Amino acid sequence: MSNKKFLTPQSEDFSQWYLDIVDKAELADYSAVKGCMIIRPYGYRIWELMQQDLDHRIKEAGVQNAYFPLFIPESFLTKEKDHVEGFAPEVAVVTHAGGKKLEEALIVRPTSETIMYDTYSKWIESYRDLPLLINQWANVVRWEMRTRPFLRTTEFLWQEGHTVHATKEEADVETLRALTMYADFARDMLALPVLKGYKSEKEKFRGALYTTCIEALAKDGKSIQFGTSHNLGQNFAKPFNISFLDKDGERKIPWQTSWGVSTRMIGALIVCHGDDDGLVLPPPVAPIQVVMVPIAKDEKELGHLIQVCHDLKQQVPSIRIHIDNRLEVSLGFKRNEWELKGVPLRIELGKQEIEKNSLSIARRDNKEKATISINDWSDTVTTLLKQMTADIYQNMEKRLEGSVHEASNLQEFEAALERGGYVKAYFCEDGEMEQKIQEKTKATTRLVALDEPEKKGVCFYSGKPAKRRWYFAKAY
């Protein structure tokens, strides 16, 4: 039975296809709390693999892990005007505890700037305490009205880096370092090419001096943002009384950054790589990189084949291999199940393969099948997994390049949007115009590229002078 029998085709209803994948591939389940999800073991293992790699990259940059409280005094959130305005509609507030009304309400953290920076004011005294480089792996709560597993949920898991620097230049370097780290991670682990750039004033993180982001292209032509890095300027240091005594003996205000990614990355994996048969997982983040399926008519024959599988597995201990030794389900069922779960390589072996000293191998990404020698097993499987990651990335890169359209007026802009993907156009960077574009077309500014040159142009929408071309798209 094909997976198409119980997965809604992408072309028919992409949103339902996505929900089908999350359910049937056993990534997550709904909880009794509306808008919250239960991450199932298979989905959580994907997150663990992401976390392990990213945590290594973070520590290599000299950033240390710490943990701060889930609850934030309400007064902390109100210290930065733009910040509180940005998060006020999304916060969950605790007003009673221990059977009594609290003297001060507590905010369940939507992000940790305020609770961390109150502490930073106590930790930082001198220039010798800088830079302060802290990361936190945690959960956060944002009361979303419309939720979808992984893509937008009331509670989600993430990492959030929070750094403090003596100068703006140092903060600029850290902001772009974190963004580059995320882009490299997306390439190496998720096999996803991304656009990198600056968000508009309207779309930036509330309270930041500026925001940078990475965006990837989903199969339905929408853009998905799944990593951001912010230069916070001195906007939080001042209200939280963070200062330091510099080498010249003067007391100065430091500059700060924050940056983060979340379990939204799993959603990005699904919408960017998945197909009508299920998940397509790049090998680096696949909980099972190779599934071995012995084909036997009885338990005696199965026992021998399983031993062969174990012997082969021991030759490549660094590869995550699962042996599917079930007799109670058919070979067709197994093939469909592992395709659905996105396992990169499927190895099949039965009496016929053993007699020929061979293995049948099938790739999940391009569905190619081949027969390989058992003697070459170790080298072949190692090479194939690396090649698959590169191939998936290159195919996505070609798709991204072919999905960027240019427009010089509204008519061209709307026509390009219909084709899906990104529309690159001169934009006057007027917040009021930006809102009107969104209302008329449902497209938003995604970013202006980091290296986009300033050049005289005309805004496609307002006709006003413009100096840079921006990427627009419909987005998650």
Per residue in 288-324, pLDDT (tens digit) is 999 999 999 888 888 999 999 999 999 999 999 999 9
Domains in the chain, CATH or no CATH each: 3-273 (3.30.930.10), 288-384 (3.40.50.800), 404-473 (3.30.110.30)
Please name the residue that has the structure tokens 């696949």.
286
So what's the pLDDT on residue 79? Answer: 86
Closest to 425 (Cα-Cα) out of 436, 410, 440, 438:
410
Please give the residue that has the higher pLDDT: either 82 or 252.
252
So what's the pLDDT on residue 183? Answer: 98
Mean pLDDT of 183-187: 98
CB 29 within 8 A of CB 37: yes
Pairing of the two strands 321-323 and 290-295: parallel
pLDDT bin (cut points 50, 70, 90) of residue 442 is: very high
Please state, in angstroms and as integers, the Cα–Cα distance from residue 12 to each residue in 4, 8, 33, 249, 421, following that order: 12, 7, 30, 67, 18
pLDDT of 81 > 80? The answer is: no
| Model confidence, pTM | 0.95
Could you tell me what percentage of the chain is helix, strand and coil, using 3-state DSSP and rounding each to the nearest 5? Answer: 35, 30, 35
Mean pLDDT of 384-408: 98
Q: Give dist(CA 67, CA 375) in Å, integer.
A: 49
pLDDT in tens, 322-371: 999 998 999 999 999 999 999 999 999 999 999 999 999 999 999 999 99
Mean pLDDT of 259-284: 98
So what's the pLDDT on residue 298? Answer: 85
DSSP label at residue 473: E
CB 263 within 8 A of CB 154: no
So what's the pLDDT on residue 83? Answer: 73
Q: What percent of the chain has pLDDT over 70?
A: 99
Q: Give dist(CA 365, CA 352) in Å, integer.
A: 26
So what's the pLDDT on residue 89? Answer: 82
pLDDT bin (cut points 50, 70, 90) of residue 219 is: very high
pLDDT in tens, 30-41: 999 989 999 999
Closest to 292 (Cα-Cα) out of 354, 359, 371:
359
CB 292 within 8 A of CB 321: yes
**Looking at the DSSP assignment, which residues form a beta bridge with residue 427?**
468
Please state, in angstroms and as integers, the Cα–Cα distance from residue 42 to each residue in 22, 49, 249, 273, 318, following that order: 10, 11, 55, 17, 19
Structure tokens at 192: 């996803």
Q: Give dist(CA 288, CA 342) in Å, integer.
A: 9
CB 388 within 8 A of CB 344: yes
pLDDT in tens, 136-168: 999 999 998 889 999 999 999 999 999 999 999
Name the strands in the sheet holding 71-73, side by side, starting at the edge strand that comes first in the sequence.
71-73, 100-108, 92-97
Q: Which of 4-18, 82-96, 414-428, 444-458 has the lowest mean pLDDT?
A: 82-96
Distance of CA 432 to the CA centre of its chain: 30
DSSP string, 108-173: EPSSSHHHHHHHHHHH--BGGG-SEEEEEEEEEE---SS-BTTTB-SEEEEEEEEEEESSHHHHHH
DSSP string, 310-373: HHHHHH-TTS-EEE---SSS-HHHHHHHHHHTT-SEEEEEEHHHHHTTEEEEEETTT--EEEEE
pLDDT bin (cut points 50, 70, 90) of residue 80 is: confident
